[in-house]
Amino acid sequence: MLSRLSFRSHTLFLMLLAFIVLTPLAKGSNVLWAQGINLIYVSILSLLTLASLASNKITVSPALRKSSIFQLLFLGLLAWQALQPYLSEGPMGDRQHHQDGILFTFMYFLVFNLTLLLCDRERRVTTLLLTIVASGAFQAVFGSMMVLSGIEWLIYQPKEHNLGVATGSFVNRNHLAGYLEIALACGTGLLLAQMTPKHIDSWKDRLIHWMEVLLSSKVILRIALCVMVIALVMTRSRMGNTAFFASLTICGFAYMVIRQSMNRSLILLFASLFLIDVLIVSQWFGLDKLAERLNVTLDNVAIQEIPTGETPNADTLLNNTSTTASDTPEVSKQSHSQNPPQTQWRFVTGDSRDSAWQEAMPMVNAFWKVGIGYGNFYTRFPQFRQGVVKGYFHHAHNDYLEFIIEFGVVGFALFAALVLVAYWRTIKGLRIARQPADVAGTFAAFMAITAIAIHSWTDFNLYIQANALLIVVMIAVGHLCYCHALKDQTRVRTKHRRRRRTSKASAATP
């Protein structure tokens, strides 16, 4: 029976796991009412945790004590967001969106600290990773069955967009792909942690080994990974699939180099994720259609010559949202004919997103100092459009571009520092990790951050609350496992020192 202290801690931990599973169900928490529920839930969980800390029902974990750099970066980002309206030279746009952004950042800050507090032992890290894999597998099965059955429904309403492709409980296929990238990273990390090299000499021993594998939990985990890869292919998300397999290749190779363990079993594991899942299984579930989308994209790649005159500055674009030929004075036309336009080039991919990036670049020049506030890209983008791109763009479809426009250079630098510190700690943790849970956690965080960093070039996964929350959890997991591994390393070194002292003392004794 659990003691009162462990029961309280266990209950809070289960509440955190439930929150992680529930956040994607309401369109990835990309609707206002779901975001409000998330804020209330995290606030209640944080208050309960604080009450438990105050009454000594739970203790502060070593990982939380060693997270001062993360705390400073989160608090610095919150302070910067609070100062943005006062530092901005002009109107920021929708103040309500900006205030929501401050609340969301504070919620991510709380979730980061809750993860450090409640995942205070290695077994809980493993449970957390398994929960993320289970949630990803559910999303994969739900999205795949949606396509195979033809019943296009979200959790609580019929689907209106992205029909015929897997989206799970998300509206956009790219956001399901981003969620699956993180879940696949967790599953791959758990598989790596379960690998124990054995020297098998005879066919009898090899047969026994394979029977043990088939009867172990590895098979369930491997099936879950296979299902998630199938769903990832069925999303037809070009950058989602590219990000997953690129991150798997980069992180798999880095794992073997960092840990100096380039053995046959590791190579077979990474090769199986490519060969079995992609070339054999996924071809029955739409790999050809994904390849067709990629080929269409590549066939339309071109370097386009665009004659342009003088580039309007930011003030002109802000004051004149649209200009037609009839509005242009004759003097300007004559001067334009006397001075031939300079030749400019732009990269075209056959996708409207590249045109949106081109038209959003002047926004960087106009707002890079302070930014326009969270969620305000869509309020200012129409003022900078030049008629090349059609349709409505709520986001820039490039997290890096949108971050620097909305948060300015200071906010962007704080975000970048947060991710880079997390990245560095996961790499250091991966090098020194000894326990299976620490190996799984550091590799999962390493691969998840890499995949989302790649995918963010062409999408806005970090503006989808379920995915943003999950990547914050993975940053916390990477730091947690680094601290666990560092503690183990210190313990081992202390034991070695004691043994050397004992051996020296015994040798000196006559």
Q: What confidence tens digit (pLDDT) does each residue in 432-449 have?
A: 888 999 999 999 999 999
What integer is the mean pLDDT of 141-166? Answer: 85
* Across 417-445, average pLDDT: 93
- pLDDT of 506 higher than 90: no
Q: Does position 49 have pLDDT exceeding 80, yes or no?
A: yes
Gap between the Cα atoms of 467 and 470, Å rounded: 5
pLDDT at 293: 53
The confidence score (pLDDT) of residue 199 equals: 53
pLDDT for 267 equals 76
**282 in any annotated domain:** yes
State the angle between helix axes of 173-193 and 218-234 in degrees (0 to 180), rounded to the nearest 10.
Answer: 160
Using CA atoms, how far apart are residues 363 and 379, in angstroms rounded to an integer?
12
Within a domain: residue 331?
Answer: no
181 domain residue, yes or no = yes
Q: Which of 492, 469, 465 is nearest to 33 (CA)?
A: 465
User: Cα separation of 209 and 510, whole Å?
Assistant: 51
In whole angstroms, give the CA distance from residue 106 to residue 74: 8
pLDDT surpasses 70 at 376: yes
Q: Of all residues in the chain, what percent carry a pLDDT higher than 90?
A: 37
pTM: 0.82
pLDDT-derived band of residue 325, with 50, 70 and 90 as boundaries? very low
Give residue 134's pLDDT: 96
What's the pLDDT score for residue 459?
A: 86
Segment 156-178 shows an average pLDDT of: 87
Residues 83 and 81: their CA atoms lie apart, in Å, by 5
Residue 190 lies in a domain: yes
Q: How many domains does the chain fold into?
A: 1
Identify whether 355 is part of a domain.
Answer: no
- Residues 103-123, mean pLDDT to the nearest whole number: 94
Q: Which residues contact 247 (CB under 8 A, 6 or more apart)?
A: 181, 185, 447, 450, 451, 454
Neighbours of 312 (CB within 10 A): 15
Partners of residue 303 on adjacent β-strands = 347
The pLDDT, as a whole number, for residue 300 is 46
Any domain includes 173 = yes
70 domain-assigned: yes
Q: What is the dihedral of CA 474, 477, 482, 483, to 10 degrees?
A: 150
Average pLDDT, the chain: 79
Two tokens at 157? 């309403």
pLDDT of residue 373: 85
Residue 101 has pLDDT above 80, yes or no: yes
Place of tokens 């997953």: 244
- pLDDT tens, position by position, 63-91: 999 999 999 999 999 999 999 988 877 66
pLDDT tens track for 278-300 = 664 555 555 555 555 555 554 44
DSSP percent split of the chain into helix, strand, coil, nearest 5: 75, 5, 25
Domain that residue 150 falls in: 4-196+218-294+400-493
Beta partners for residue 496, in sequence order: none
Please give the pLDDT value at position 493.
67
Let me know if residue 192 belongs to a domain: yes
First to last CA, the chain: 53
State the Cα–Cα distance between residues 137 and 135, nearest whole angstrom. Answer: 5
Range 328-340 average pLDDT: 39
Q: For 69-91, give one letter per residue: b (16+ CB within 10 A) or e.
A: ebeebbebbbebbeebeeebeee
Question: In the 8-state DSSP scheme, what is residue 159?
Answer: -
